[in-house]
Amino acid sequence: VDAPVKNLPQLTQASAPLTQAVDVIDAEGQPRAVSIPAERDLTLYVDKREIITLMTLGAHPEWLTLGYLLNQRMIRHAYELESITVDWSVNASAVKTRFTSESAPHNRGKRIVTTGCGQGTLFGSLMDELDSLHLAPAAAITRDTVFAIVQAIRERDTVYKNAGSVHACALFEGSDLRCFIEDVGRHNALDSIAGWLALGDLQQQTAPWVLYTTGRLTSEMIIKAAQMGVSIVISRSGMTQMGLEIARRLGVCAIGRALNRHFLCFSAEHRLIAG
Amino acid sequence: VDAPVKNLPQLTQASAPLTQAVDVIDAEGQPRAVSIPAERDLTLYVDKREIITLMTLGAHPEWLTLGYLLNQRMIRHAYELESITVDWSVNASAVKTRFTSESAPHNRGKRIVTTGCGQGTLFGSLMDELDSLHLAPAAAITRDTVFAIVQAIRERDTVYKNAGSVHACALFEGSDLRCFIEDVGRHNALDSIAGWLALGDLQQQTAPWVLYTTGRLTSEMIIKAAQMGVSIVISRSGMTQMGLEIARRLGVCAIGRALNRHFLCFSAEHRLIAG
């Protein structure tokens, strides 16, 4: 018999302007027009129950919604959802699940507070899960691939270049850019990547996933990467102590300070290979 | 009759190393030793009740504890506390209040989720309070004071210069630096400033408070500044749309992109004066 068909959720493709022009005064006292990133509130509802309000740039609100629910452990798979409907006229993302009242996980609606700003309890809750994570031992990256990824990010036209004040996350398959997300919150950017990934067909993968982020490599970045099955993470920024401890424990290759042809490899050096 | 004496809480002065040396591999494959910021968990207990675990650099954990409780609206004044005792051997900050069971606020232990990473509900909860905030209409800053503040920050020896990956907040009285805090989380840095401020004697103030931050001017930064009575905020980074909306609504003068002798004034331009 065939495996049961697992349908992916139906998604809207709600889009919204990513930047806004504003009038400012410069240091010479002269009026100027500059762009700043758009920022809008998006309230998530799961089966009509309000879950949380996210502040987001709004580039890919459906992926953000899906990735948020996955990373908060409120769902385990994209096919648990029937639809995600984003409506910017009411700043709402309405999620319809396939759960019956019996199949709904007990932790639905139980929100995990994130540690990203150094305040939260995600760390504690997730540490228990860490030992169940097993990353592919053979996943590796060459120095030239690190350089190629940094170069690809630098050449990209971005909201950051136009308006500043956003973080970017990108997922590469080897040196091929597969998904690029900017957001006012770096957790939103990473959650959106997780949402995109959960909609894809991983059997087609030909090279290891590599996660690039403009943000620091904190404990939460490393944990979320590992939960996505990503064992190589690159940042143009640095690394915190807790991020490093967890990267070493999980065997995540954490590469920081990646700019031009420089970088520092903080952990899992065996994944960084010649070439 | 004299006003009742309002005693400030007794504080420990727990200190801990702010950086850690780690061994890394650079892009040439050579081993190097670099410093990264220390990061440690600190669990807050209020009258023996566990409140939250913060990830912090740990420079001023007592101020952080006090500022966190203030900014989360769990207390209103420093003198509501009898003591704050930080013990790094158990990573705990134990707060003893002067509340009796009758005087304890109803919202004790009710945690507000922060929006700093773009995820949270602080925004919604606090918007209700915004209209009660009235900043001093006359508080103003000269262009030269902005330059002097940027220069003072640049000349300072910091964890950031040594190890990167931390955010700084500083409180100036006019152009005089009064308090400088770095932390792995910028909310922690700001909360620590709030804690420091709550311990001081505001009647001695001779010039308006000016808050400097290395981080973006988000809605939460602006709100927390306004709650501290600070109407002028300077960042070397940019501004988000929600931050701008709230700064304009509250009359907070938000100055961004402050580097060398450049900056952009986004709001409350009347507070930026000649000189």
This prediction has a pTM of 0.86
pLDDT(B105) > 70: no
Window 98-137 of B: residues touching A by CB (8 A cutoff) are: 111, 113-121, 123-124
> CB of B266 within 8 A of CB of B255?
yes
Determine the Cα–Cα distance for residues A231 and A204; give it in Å rounded to an integer.
18
pLDDT digits (tens, 9 = 90+) for B262-272: 999 999 999 99
SS (H, E, C) A52-65: EEEEECCCCHHHHH
Say yes or no for a CB contact (<8 Å) between A117 and B117. Answer: yes
> CB of B255 within 8 A of CB of B263?
yes
For chains A and B, CB pairs below 8 A equal 188
Q: Which two tokens stand for residue A275?
A: 């070439």
Window 80-99 of B: residues touching A by CB (8 A cutoff) are: none
> CB of A259 within 8 A of CB of A212?
no
pLDDT(B2) > 70: no
Pick from A8-17, B148-157, B200-209, B214-223: least confident: B200-209
A53, A146, A264 member nearest B24 (Cβ): A264
Strand partners for A34: A22
Determine the Cα–Cα distance for residues B257 and A42; give it in Å rounded to an integer.
27
Helix (H) / strand (E) containing B231: none
A27: left (phi over 0), alpha (psi -120 to 50) or beta: alpha
Is ipTM strictly over 0.90? no
pLDDT(B234) > 80: yes
Say yes or no for a CB contact (<8 Å) between B39 and A123. Answer: no
Least Cα distance to B115 among A252, A226, A55 occurs for A55
Better-scored residue on pLDDT, A8 or A128: A8
Whether B20 and chain A come into contact, CB under 8 Å, resolves to: yes
Say yes or no for a CB contact (<8 Å) between B121 and A52. Answer: yes
Q: Residue A109: CB partners within 8 Å, gap ≥ 6?
A: A46, A49, A51, A74
Reduce the DSSP state of residue B16 to 3 states and report it.
Answer: coil
Least Cα distance to B158 among B259, B57, B12, B257 occurs for B57
Angle between helices B241-250 and B219-227 (to 10 degrees): 30
Percent of chain A past pLDDT 70, that is, above it, reads: 87
Say yes or no for a CB contact (<8 Å) between A118 and B238. Answer: no
Q: Look up residue B11 and give its DSSP letter.
A: E
Q: Residue A242: CB partners within 8 Å, gap ≥ 6?
A: A123, A218, A219, B39, B40, B41, B55
Q: What is the mean pLDDT of chain B?
A: 87
Amino acid, single-letter form, for residue A272 = L
pLDDT digits (tens, 9 = 90+) for A104-163: 665 444 344 443 444 444 555 566 677 778 899 999 999 999 999 999 999 998 888 888
Amino acid, single-letter form, for residue A197 = L
Better-scored residue on pLDDT, B128 or B153: B153
Amino acid, single-letter form, for residue B224 = K
Say yes or no for a CB contact (<8 Å) between B240 and A184. Answer: yes
Tell me the C-alpha to C-alpha distance, in Å, between residue B212 and each of A116, A267, B253, B258: 21, 34, 12, 10
